Amino acid sequence: MNKRFQGIYAALVTPYTEDGAVNCREAKKLVRYLLAKGIDGFYVGGSTGEAFLLTQEERKLLLEAVLEENNGQAKVIAHVGQISTDLACDLARHASKAGAHGVSAISPFYYKFSLKEIEEYYRDIMDASDLPMFVYNFPNLSGFSLSPEALDDLCRMGDVAGVKFTSNNFFDMERMRRKHPELTIWNGYDEMLCCGLMTGADGAVGSTYNILCPIAKKLYEHMREGRMEEARQCQDKINRMVAVSKRYPNIFVVIKAVLDRDGFSMGGLRKPFLGLPQGAGADIEMIYREFVEPFS
């Protein structure tokens, strides 16, 4: 099936200026950098983009900057998830006016919302804009696990175009795949990209593709053409990078430091996230030299 949305999408990191404001100039530079490396799309303002540490206004400005620089070249999906339905709908309306290709939303979080409340939240967002919706399933962070049955409900409620599936429950992914061949399923854990593609995912959205896009693109092509061993070699590279990043409080800080090494000025993470600890330089240098520089 030839799908409108497929391939490798970067879950963009959000750069900051020295004063801590969102740095749209640097975000545009990252868009150019990734387009030159063959990225298929951008996922803007998601978990990797520190969505919930940004204001509503900042999320809008960042999306506009990405859309402007992308200028129709790759697909742009706006993450509009929020704890409040009204705020998510406001972002969805903005994404539509600004010209994004789709919206995606994590389920509402913190309170233990009921399934009915969560489904209504998605219905309201889908009603608020004319864009296709990619349901963002990330049980580990959101506390809500999208079941195949809940996905069926959502498909009846509005224009669901797919699922961003950040879970290692490949049984559920396979059930969703089988039932909804027309949907785009994105694999969410980069370290499980081979597994996701094997299970029928159409592509991936992930944080490491900010720096490892060429390796992930190769993996994707190997898998499509049935070269399993070559695909696994690429997976090993991605996983070596992920394994190193597990020594640090989170992977975004590592990704941003590697981008800094490659000539960006990412401005660290927003508090309460901590910066890189002292002595991380050797790991950053290793990641850059082994997994970024040879593929530039």
191 makes contact with ligand MN9 (CB under 6 A): yes
What is the spatial distance between Cα 213 and Cα 193, in angstroms, rounded to a whole number?
A: 12
190 makes contact with ligand MN9 (CB under 6 A): yes
Chain positions 118 to 157 lying near ligand MN9, rule: CB under 6 A, are: none
Q: Which of 43, 136, 220, 248 is catalytic?
A: 136
Q: Cβ distance 163 to 135 under 8 Å?
A: yes
Least distance between ligand MN9 and beta carbon 294 (Å):
21
DSSP 52: G
Residue whose structure tokens are 């409900």: 153
Task: List the x/- string, 200-239, binding to ligand MN9 by CB under 6 A.
Answer: ------xxx-------------------------------
Among positions 9, 189, 264, 291, the unique one binding ligand MN9 when judged by CB under 6 A: 189
C-alpha distance from residue 163 to each of 167, 188, 189, 196 (Å): 11, 10, 13, 12
Residue 232, C-beta contacts closer than 8 angstroms, at least 6 positions apart: 194
Among positions 166, 184, 199, 235, the unique one binding ligand MN9 when judged by CB under 6 A: 166
Among positions 24, 183, 251, 287, the unique one binding ligand MN9 when judged by CB under 6 A: 251
Least distance between ligand MN9 and beta carbon 249 (Å):
12
Residue 136 a catalytic site member: yes
Task: List the x/- string, 66-105, binding to ligand MN9 by CB under 6 A.
Answer: ----------------------------------------
What is the spatial distance between Cα 149 and Cα 146, in angstroms, rounded to a whole number?
A: 8
Q: Cβ distance 37 to 8 under 8 Å?
A: no
Residue 116 a catalytic site member: no
Closer residue to ligand MN9 in complex, CB, 63/255: 255
Identity at 194, one-letter amino acid code = C
107 makes contact with ligand MN9 (CB under 6 A): no
242 makes contact with ligand MN9 (CB under 6 A): yes
DSSP 130-177: SS-EEEEE-HHHHS----HHHHHHHHHHS-EEEEEE-SS-HHHHHHHH
Closer residue to ligand MN9 in complex, CB, 25/274: 274
What is the spatial distance between Cα 82 and Cα 113, in angstroms, rounded to a whole number?
A: 13
Q: Which of 37, 60, 164, 217 is catalytic?
A: 164
Residue 278, C-beta contacts closer than 8 angstroms, at least 6 positions apart: none
Which chain residues interact with ligand MN9 by CB under 6 A? Answer: 11, 47-48, 166, 188-191, 206-208, 242, 251
Report the catalytic residues. Answer: 136, 164
